[in-house]
Amino acid sequence: MGKFILQRLFAALVTIWIATIAVTILIHLVPGDPVRIMYGSFQTTPEELEAIRVRLGLDQPIWTQYLMYLERLVQGDLGRSIVGDQPVLDVLLTRFPATLALTVSSLAIAIVVGMSLGFLAAYKRGTWVDVGAMVLAIVGVSMPHFWLGLLLLFLFALQLQWLPVAGGDWRSLLLPALTLGLANAAVLARLTRSAMIDIFDQDFIRTARAKGLPRSIVLYRHALRSGLVPVVSMLGLQFAYLMGGAIVIENVFAWNGVGRLAIEAVLSRDYPLIQGFILFFATVVALASVVIDIAYAFLDPRIRYS
Partner 1 sequence: MIHSSSTAELADDLATASAPRKRSFWRALLAGPSGLIGLVIVAVLIFAALTAPVIAPYDPLRMAAGPRLDAPSTNYLMGTDDFGRDVLSRIIYGARLTLQIGVIAVGISLSCGLLLGLVAGYSSGWTERVLMRLVDVLFSFTEIVIALACLAIFGVGLTNAMIAIGIASIPFYARVTHSVVLVEKGKPYFEAAVAAGAGHLRLIFLHLLPNVVPTLIVIGTLGVSTAILAAAGLSFLGLGAQPPQPEWGFMLSSSRDLISRAPWMMIFPGLAIATTVLGFNLLGDGIREALDPRQTDR
| Binding region for partner 1 (CB under 8 A) | 14-15, 18-19, 22, 26, 29-31, 138-139, 141-147, 150-151, 153-154, 158, 187, 190-191, 194, 197, 230, 233-234, 237-238, 240-241, 243-245, 247-248, 251-252, 262-263, 265-267, 269, 271, 274, 278, 281-282, 285-286, 289
Short-list 281, 184, 193, 299, CA closest to 238: 184
Max CA pair span of the chain: 85
The minimum distance between CB 306 and partner 1, in angstroms, equals 18
The minimum distance between CB 302 and partner 1, in angstroms, equals 17
Q: Which is nearer to partner 1, 213 or 303 (CB)?
A: 303
Q: Which is nearer to partner 1, 44 or 194 (CB)?
A: 194
Residue 122 and residue 137: Cα distance in Å, rounded? 13
Q: Which is nearer to partner 1, 224 or 234 (CB)?
A: 234
The minimum distance between CB 239 and partner 1, in angstroms, equals 10
Q: Which is nearer to partner 1, 142 or 216 (CB)?
A: 142
Q: Are 106 and 180 in contact (CB under 8 A)?
A: yes
The minimum distance between CB 154 and partner 1, in angstroms, equals 5
Residue 219 and residue 208: Cα distance in Å, rounded? 10
Q: Which is nearer to partner 1, 130 or 213 (CB)?
A: 130
Short-list 237, 287, 231, 244, CA closest to 103: 244
Residue 165 and residue 175: Cα distance in Å, rounded? 9
Q: Which is nearer to partner 1, 7 or 51 (CB)?
A: 7
Residues in the chain: 306
The minimum distance between CB 216 and partner 1, in angstroms, equals 26
Residue 122 and residue 100: Cα distance in Å, rounded? 32
The minimum distance between CB 212 and partner 1, in angstroms, equals 28
Q: Which is nearer to partner 1, 185 or 219 (CB)?
A: 185
Residue 223 and residue 217: Cα distance in Å, rounded? 9
Distance set, CA 228 to CA 84, 126, 196, 199 (Å): 47, 21, 8, 10
- With b for 16 or more beta-carbon neighbours within 10 A and e for fewer, the 7-20 pattern comes to ebeeebeebbeebb
The minimum distance between CB 257 and partner 1, in angstroms, equals 14
